[in-house]
Structure formats: C-alpha cells, structure tokens
Amino acid sequence: MSDEEHHFESKADAGASKTYPQQAGTIRKNGYIVIKSRPCKVVEVSTSKTGKHGHAKCHFVGIDIFTGKKLEDIVPSSHNCDVPHVTRTDYQLIDISEDGFVSLLTENGNTKDDLRLPTDENLLTQIKDGFAEGKDLVVSVMSSMGEEQICALKDIGPK
C-alpha cells in the first residue's frame, strides 16, 4: 500500500438511479410517482375492483412538480411504478443577474449559479421584491430526476 490516503467525496447516493420501484397499490395521496417520464406529486388515487383478468387497477392523478401540469396514469395495483427521488435543499440568495439566473450560497460556502428564477409569477415577484428591499432570503430548491427548480421562499430578516 502507498503512504497516500485516498479521499472520496460522495453525496451518499453512489450514482444511484433517479427513481426507485414501488408497488402501485402502496402509493398514496401526497406521495410521488413518475407519470410519462415526469416526476409528479400524487393528488388523487382511486382503485378499481378486480376485473375479468384478475388485476385491480390504480388510477393516479398527479401534478408535475416542475411545470404544474396535471398528468394521469392507470397501472395494475400489483405492478411496480417508478417513484422519483425528490430532495429539497435550502440555499441563501446572494444575487440575481439580469439574464434571470440566481446566485445561491451552499452550506459548504460555495456558490451555485446554474439556477434560473422560478416561472411562478407570485414567487418570482416575492423573490425580486424581497431582494430589492435588501432582505436576507432563503430559497428552497426542489430537485428530482436531474432537474432543479426554486419552489419556496423564506425571509430570515434584514441584512
């Protein structure tokens, strides 16, 4: 063995997949599901009785967590569905550029400059107004399946 020690930085997912399988019959309202390759929050679940071929079916209605579009899917309750890994991270807002990108401070002191302002008008005006007033703002960033978007805002007081 050499005298050098090897240090590996990991985020504990070890390059894991963007989704994991879960039986359709166990997915509940307010959970997450992948419908048409989009991560969705489940807003409605209904289960039909077993039919001629012996499978109860689950009817899912979900809202895309990034675009807000309503999507639907019907899956036999005994089959597996993809469930996205969804994480929420809080970052402190440092700056807003003219081209619509935000500069965020991560927990380890680095900056994250690859996120755009949210498309939601209400949240967008709250962020711009709060930043213009010089408030200390913390934004919540939701990430799933390789996408990230600002989804919430907290005011932690004046600078």
Chain-centroid distance, C-alpha 114? 16
Q: What is the pLDDT of residues 102-117, one digit of tens each?
A: 888 888 888 888 888 8
Q: Output the DSSP codes for 88-146.
A: EEEEEEEEE-TTSEEEEE-TTS-EEEEEEPPS-HHHHHHHHHHHHTTEEEEEEEEEETT
Q: What is the pLDDT of residues 48-85, one digit of tens each?
A: 887 677 778 899 999 999 888 999 999 988 889 999 99
Single pTM value for the model: 0.76
Q: Which two tokens stand for residue 7?
A: 């240090």
Q: Which of 57, 102, 103 is nearest to 78 (CA)?
A: 57
- Domains parsed from the chain with CATH numbers: 19-84 (2.30.30.30), 86-155 (2.40.50.140)
